Amino acid sequence: MKEAQRLLKLPTYVFALLDKLKAEEKAKGKDLIDLTIGSPNHLPPKEVVAAFIAALNEPNNHRYSSFEGDLDFNYAALEWCKRQYNIHLEKNEVVQLLGSKEGLVHFAFAYLDPNDKVLVPLPAYPAHFRGPILAGADVIVMPTAEHNGWLPDLDSIEESIAEQAKMMILSYPTNPTAAAAPPEFFEKAVHFAKKHDLILIHDLAYGELYFDGKKPISCLSVRGAKEICIEFHTLSKTFGMAGWRCGFAVGNSQLIESLRKIKTNLDYGPFPAITKAATVALKMHNGYMAKMRQTYQCRRDIMVDGLNSLGWKLKKPTATFYLWVPVPAGYTAMSFTQHLVQHAGVVVSPGTGFGELGEGYIRIALVDIDDRIKEAIERLRKAGIKYA
Ligand SMILES: Cc1ncc(COP(=O)(O)O)c(C=O)c1O
């Protein structure tokens, strides 16, 4: 039984190897500090949990969601965008999602045909390149590296390549490199997309996870961006609701409508009780988020200072809960990951999980409490692991 080409064409899933490695070490009874998946461990606001429990007692919340979406949720999402990012949107410019990953991948299916070309910076969150591949499209890599702040160099893209492309996918602050982009970059990206007739996707999953007062901007805040751009938002990271599967997309009404169209053929929308509780989350004001940011900033400081005491020379990233860490000489991303699991019981993601250009790096997700992060550093120290 031969799988469809769309599955066969996917690059190797390195995280499957990692899962095997974890299972082997766990079977030996080892206590692993797992800093692999960006699954936040801060709790959702208690008001949100209470709203969910209350919504469970309402019989209508156990039926299918409506195809048009929940108007209260949509309104709360639009208000949120205005309050948090100063972007003004109309009611036909939003669609609720079962998490932004679902929306990103289905958007690829809504707009890409086999052999269409998509510009994607690498390293990247896997759905940014796996979504287009699943839709049969070809990914044109925009390489990013430390010396250019992990931003693609749009000036270096050949005219003929840009003209062939149909779509460009960006996401800043970015997973896995934790880089943020300045407003000028978004202006340039919107200009570039318009010039070459590209659909511009911006994934703002980490819009609220920033430090040192460096708040990220929405791509839609660039003048004229709405003509070509769709932006993806999620409650997963901001409100510690990754398991709830709730996000939304905003932007150009035609792009939103096509995403809604493909979704009506694939799913029945979220569990209404989740939508009701998520609406409460979107109406919350900033006390909760300030505390959440403090939590991750503190973990960032412990981990960066700890690694630097072992020879690394890391700068503190201004956003996301990731650290993008070069591996010591003599290791690959995968062999260093293996070494960390086997000798220190610390599990991280090999950079190659985020595309080939992630070779030479590991990604650490700061998804455990301060004491465990301190312990991770001590385990590295005891195992003689250092950067040289
Ligand atoms: C850049 C980026 N976008 C989207 C997602 C997925 O978010 P969601 O839980 O909304 O599907 C992640 C998860 O790690 C991410 O890093």
- Per-residue pLDDT of 80-120, as tens digits, reads 999 999 999 999 999 999 999 999 999 999 999 999 999 99
Closest ligand 1 atom to 174 CA: 1
Counting the structural domains of the chain, the total is 2
How far is Cα 263 from Cα 260, in angstroms, rounded to an integer? 5
Residues 249 and 183 in one domain: yes
Among the three residues 282, 299, 315, which one is the final residue of a domain in this structure? Answer: 282
CATH of the domain at 133: 3.40.640.10
Among the three residues 251, 282, 313, which one is the final residue of a domain in this structure? Answer: 282
Statement: residue 286 has pLDDT above 90: no
Q: How far is the CA of 234 from the centre of ligand 1 (A)?
A: 7
323 lines ligand 1 (CB under 6 A): no
Q: CA 307, 309, 314, 319 torsion: positive or negative?
A: positive
Residues 14 and 96 in one domain: no
93 lines ligand 1 (CB under 6 A): no
Could you tell me what percent of the chain has a pLDDT over 90?
94
Reduced to 3 states (helix: H, G, I; strand: E, B; else coil), residue 248 is strand
Is residue 27, in this structure, part of any structural domain at all?
yes
Residues 175 and 256 in one domain: yes
Residues 149 and 180 in one domain: yes
Label residue 144 by pLDDT band (50, 70, 90). very high
Is residue 387, in this structure, part of any structural domain at all?
no
CATH of the domain at 343: 3.90.1150.10
pLDDT digits (tens, 9 = 90+) for 366-381: 999 999 999 999 999 9
Query: Taking CA 317 as the corner, what is the angle to CA 365 and CA 243, rounded to the nearest 5 degrees?
Result: 35
124 lines ligand 1 (CB under 6 A): no
Label residue 313 by pLDDT band (50, 70, 90). very high
Which residues span the domain enclosing 191?
Answer: 46-282
Residues 299 and 275 in one domain: no
- In this structure, the residue with its CA closest to atom 6 of ligand 1 is 101
Closest ligand 1 atom to 245 CA: 9
Question: Is residue 80 within 8 Å of 319, Cβ to Cβ?
Answer: no
Residues 173 and 58 in one domain: yes
**At residue 291, what is the residue type?**
K
Closest ligand 1 atom to 247 CA: 10
Residues 15 and 120 in one domain: no
Residues 236 and 361 in one domain: no
pLDDT digits (tens, 9 = 90+) for 5-37: 999 999 888 888 888 889 999 999 999 999 999
pLDDT at 284: 87
pLDDT digits (tens, 9 = 90+) for 315-374: 999 999 999 999 999 999 999 999 999 999 999 999 999 999 999 999 999 999 999 999
Residues 140 and 276 in one domain: yes
248 lines ligand 1 (CB under 6 A): no
Could you tell me what percent of the chain has a pLDDT over 70?
100
Where does residue 341 rank: exposed (0-12), middle (13-18), buried (19+ CB within 10 A)? Answer: buried
106 lines ligand 1 (CB under 6 A): no
244 lines ligand 1 (CB under 6 A): no
Residue 96: closest CA among 300, 338, 268: 268
234 lines ligand 1 (CB under 6 A): yes
Closest ligand 1 atom to 102 CA: 11
* Entry pTM: 0.97
Question: Is residue 111 within 8 Å of 199, Cβ to Cβ?
Answer: yes
- In this structure, the residue with its CA closest to atom 13 of ligand 1 is 38
Is residue 298, in this structure, part of any structural domain at all?
yes
Residue 225: closest CA among 257, 261, 201, 260: 201
pLDDT at 109: 97
Residue that wins the pLDDT comparison between 57 and 17: 57
Question: Is residue 238 within 8 Å of 209, Cβ to Cβ?
Answer: yes
- In this structure, the residue with its CA closest to atom 5 of ligand 1 is 101
Residues 93 and 222 in one domain: yes
- In the chain, alpha helices (H): 5-8, 14-27, 46-56, 71-85, 100-111, 126-134, 159-164, 183-195, 235-238, 253-264, 272-282, 287-309, 333-344, 370-382
Label residue 159 by pLDDT band (50, 70, 90). very high
**Mean local confidence (pLDDT), 137-150:** 97
Among the three residues 234, 264, 282, which one is the final residue of a domain in this structure? Answer: 282
Closest ligand 1 atom to 100 CA: 10
Closest ligand 1 atom to 171 CA: 1
Is residue 105, in this structure, part of any structural domain at all?
yes
Q: How far is the CA of 206 from the centre of ligand 1 (A)?
A: 8
Residues 372 and 249 in one domain: no
Q: How far is the CA of 104 from the centre of ligand 1 (A)?
A: 9
Q: How far is the CA of 358 from the centre of ligand 1 (A)?
A: 18
Q: How far is the CA of 236 from the centre of ligand 1 (A)?
A: 7
Is residue 323, in this structure, part of any structural domain at all?
yes
